[in-house]
Amino acid sequence: MGFIAEARLSDSPYVETVMRGYTEGEGSEIRPAECHWHMVFARVNGVMHPIITGALTTSGVVPFTEGVELLWIRFKLGTFMPHMPARKSLDSETMLPTAAGKSFWLKGSAWQYPDYENVDTFVDRLVRDEILAYDPLVNAVLEGQPQDISPRTVRHRFLRATGLTQTSIFQIERAQRAAALRFSIPCTKQVISTSRI
């Protein structure tokens, strides 16, 4: 039981992976800490719920219920929404308001729900409308590339783009690698439920 999913990489430079799937059975599972933020579209009893999930600084227990369909967009580190400070999104979920038809509200505009196949087009439109941005400094620093700016500026840009410090990201990724070594989890079956489902 849990979340039965399939995942794919994205052609978008802003997106890490795209997943879709459904919940099977009811219960709860332990989820790891996560330094990436996500946009989740959950269909519960035929009703769509658009959710922004911030980075998760600690592991936790998440409940899940039967028959929830999910589309899950995991954004690359350095991708952020300038109008929604990443620091305020840490360890939280933001339910976005729904609009008429198959759409939801984001930064004052109605957006059609994406599907598994057109996520890259959806993200491109968010970028074009300046709802999504990307700071390449984050990836450069994580890869150990030297920077000609002060450590204070690096810290400020990290916090703006991720809500986390560089040290926090390294700690979370180290914990994820350790957990992956301890538990063998098939790629086709993962629990990525949200607490509001």
- Per-residue model confidence (pLDDT) at position 193: 42
Domain ranges of the chain: 2-182
Q: Which residue has the higher pLDDT, 191 or 141?
A: 141
pLDDT tens digits, one per residue of 28-39: 888 889 999 999
Averaged over 157-175, what is the pLDDT?
Answer: 91
The whole-number pLDDT of residue 3 equals 78
Q: Is the pLDDT of residue 167 over 70?
A: yes
Tell which wins on pLDDT, 75 or 186. Answer: 75
pLDDT of residue 156: 94
Model confidence pLDDT, tens digit, residues 57-69:
998 888 888 989 9
Element holding 154 (H helix, E strand): helix 151-162
Within 10 Å of residue 26's Cβ, how many Cβ atoms? 11
> Rounded CA gap, 83 and 106, in Å?
10
How high does pLDDT run on average in the chain?
88
Is the pLDDT assigned to residue 170 strictly greater than 80? Answer: yes
Residue 184 pLDDT? 45
pLDDT at position 56 over 50 = yes
Closest CA to 176 of 34, 77, 7: 34
- The percent of residues in the chain predicted with pLDDT above 70, rounded, is 90
Residues 6+ apart with CB under 8 A from 56: 31, 32, 33, 34, 90, 91
